[in-house]
Structure 1
């Protein structure tokens, strides 16, 4: 019997059967029924000074290889977004280099890439609306010069400087007017960044949505869509139904994406999700099912992942990046569970254990034996004796769950060489 050990908040251990990896296949043709981006994280050098306040030292080979992993499943990559630790460890110089390098990699394989444009290179000081406009334009031109598509992110500087909804309309009009082509707007809620309270001129969601819709309406030729990250499905649907035909709704709701992407007779959302960075094979397989018109298979594949995503994005939600990097490590996409700014320490062992449990149950472990070995090594490092876990059940109940590396179905993520368990 192959089992994986879990730990709860009291320190109690239990073992559960290790599930086999789903037999997902990479798409042979572009995905058509939905547009889907995975907001990707960054991988630091494991020997770097990955402590709070230090400049980010990125392992570019691992970081860019992860983007190729996402592209290989037919998804687009949304880079230099909050998932890449903007304002939480990724400094301005590293952000610029990330955009340049990712754009070059995307061009080399003809892949879909959009990148975040913000004002965060200015620092934390308060600046005027004119300076906000100039800061946005500086990053906008860098992204466009690199050849990347643009997501115009919510700006902390704008949230501080704006006094009225008119200030938001003015800033977005000026910045969008400088864009070479259509961009995606981003409405990031306070669960992700408390500094963005009152964005679009109001704490009232309906009033703020009205301003957002006016910005889109007044700049139709420069707005291709909007990513909403309020974790409020009803608010997203209400905005989605009022969008002009020229603009897509990209859900950023990592709690309710299954129903929002499936949609109904009134429409659906496309996807730009941090969760999809951790779930690229599952997301791809689910959208492939929609491409075939098989909504039941879509729900069967993606439905179980929503509980996992809700755990990764549990409050305080802005620490979700830890769960994304943790799953990347478990699945063999990086050699060490390290993050810039020391953010790998932002979640507890029981929280990570629940991620392991839900990933195992939802088919999100791409190489289950590797994931189990790495997780057990982390428990051991923290003084947990995995050998004393309660049994997973009798042999008859668990035999069907046994798997080995030789017998596990191919997921399209196998490496030609084994990845070491301990970095």
Structure 2
């Protein structure tokens, strides 16, 4: 790995900053607090990006994307987070979009890709089920073919943003007679289809972003099958391995570090927090850990073309270290507010009328701390990631 500064990457960073300065509306700036943006903001930002030719930053040029390298994509994400730009639809951009580009028929691409660029079709992911979280291959939602349709029955859980989504990509069992990985297929379904019911799950951070999704005799056209029957597991492995270096969520870590530095110098009372030895030492340690992860992210980025098991293992290491650091830093942010940190803004997007700390510095910190408790679970739990690393080390 070459640790020297890349002048081309520096120039690209300046290009992204200039674009954000000139095209990000003031009413959309600073709106991203670390979670997905509201639909109206997300769609508005997506249309601005698409008009500039940046509607699919994570896709190759042959599929209408920017063709950026992984390092360029990381720079783009970092700069967008730094100014608080709205998010894009990650399910479309990083998950189902690449799957469609790789496995869909020309007719399927023509139907589903253009709405992703324009932001007129948002997606959600139907993978996890009650009793089938980390053991994804044990899923029980069935799809039985009857003529030109599959009849789907079952339940998905933790379906993020299903209440806002227009379509869902889901795994179903189409053949219960073979081993569990071989009988799974990958379907797309319109969320307006009769028989689909979405029920909210309000999480500990006070937000509604999770849901239960029920399928009762839902008729899904066979033309919405991606790949062949029984190829769902192969497609899922491609989907989950598609973004290695992004699994640490480096932009979020950098945003947390910047907020810590702001609190360190702005807190009043008995002097700035950074003047206290214990606080300064912890802040320095977190900055060192963030920098270490940044170097590892760059290392994985430099190995982008390498599809070896070692690269996948490094992605798992990043997932473990990055999400654990998110939890520690979000807790430290709340601690930095003192006594008011325990009660200030515990519900995302709301302020407490009785809270003594109503400064912008504390807004949303407690809610994010609660949200990050799940970081070591979603996207593959830390236990699963450690198993991947151990299995890879055994191979060598």
* Same-fold status (TM-score > 0.5): no
| TM-score between the two structures when normalised by the length of structure 1 | 0.26
> Comparing both chains, which one has the higher relative contact order based on Cα–Cα distances under 8 Å and sequence gaps of 6 or more?
1
